[in-house]
Amino acid sequence: MTLRFLILGIVFIAAACSPDAERHAPEPAAGDKVEVVNGLMAAFNDHDAEAMRAYWHTDVTWIEISGQQSSVVTSSAAQLYGELVAYFEAYPSVKSSLENVSVNGNFVTATERPVWQEGGERQSQASVVVYEIIDGKVKRFWYFPPQ
């Protein structure tokens, strides 16, 4: 029985190291939905809440997830615009990046990592975010608790 497991292990390692294994590695996320999210992130990094509006539906909804609870933070483009203007005033040095971007149908999932200065010190956190893209614009997005 031990010999059988050893042979299976060798076959598995050989298959994983074969040239075919590289061809089946996941491709980086790309496409129209990712471009919407990247455009939104570029406007965010420019602190341009007005430019960000081009990427939202008029009834865009921002939802925060915490444990077993979810709560709506904003439910319109006008409300989200106001939130972001206030946010950029409170955090004038903030910039953000997206990591581990993936696409599943209308959903783009990523880890968002904002970085900012507070009290002379660099601050950072990361949150999982899921964007729902409908007709080329963000319809809803969910933020999970920062880590």
Please report whether residue 9 resides in a domain. no
pLDDT band at 3; cut points 50, 70, 90 = very low
pLDDT number for residue 47: 98
pLDDT score recorded for residue 31: 79
Total domains, the chain: 1
Q: Which of 2-6, 77-81, 90-94 has the lowest mean pLDDT?
A: 2-6
Q: Quickly count: other Cβ atoms within 10 Å of residue 60's Cβ.
A: 23
Q: Which residue has the higher pLDDT, 44 or 5?
A: 44
Q: Rounded to an integer, what distance in angstroms lies between the CA atom of residue 49 and that of residue 14?
A: 52
> 66: domain range?
28-143
| 77 belongs to a structural domain | yes
Alpha helical stretches, state H, the chain: 2-17, 19-23, 32-45, 49-52, 77-90
Span 83-111, pLDDT tens digits:
999 999 999 999 999 999 999 999 999 99
10 falls within a domain: no
Q: Tens digits of per-residue pLDDT, 10-32?
A: 444 444 444 444 444 444 466 79
pLDDT at 36 over 80: yes
Is residue 7 over pLDDT 50?
A: no
pLDDT score for 29: 62
Residue 19 in any domain: the answer is: no
Q: Is 25 helix (H, G, I), strand (E, B) or coil?
A: coil
pLDDT at 139: 98
Q: Residue 145: CB partners within 8 Å, gap ≥ 6?
A: 65, 66, 67, 127
- What is the pTM (predicted TM-score) of this model? 0.78
* Domain CATH number, residue 94: 3.10.450.50
List the one residue out of 98, 100, 47, 56 whose CA is nearest residue 79. 56
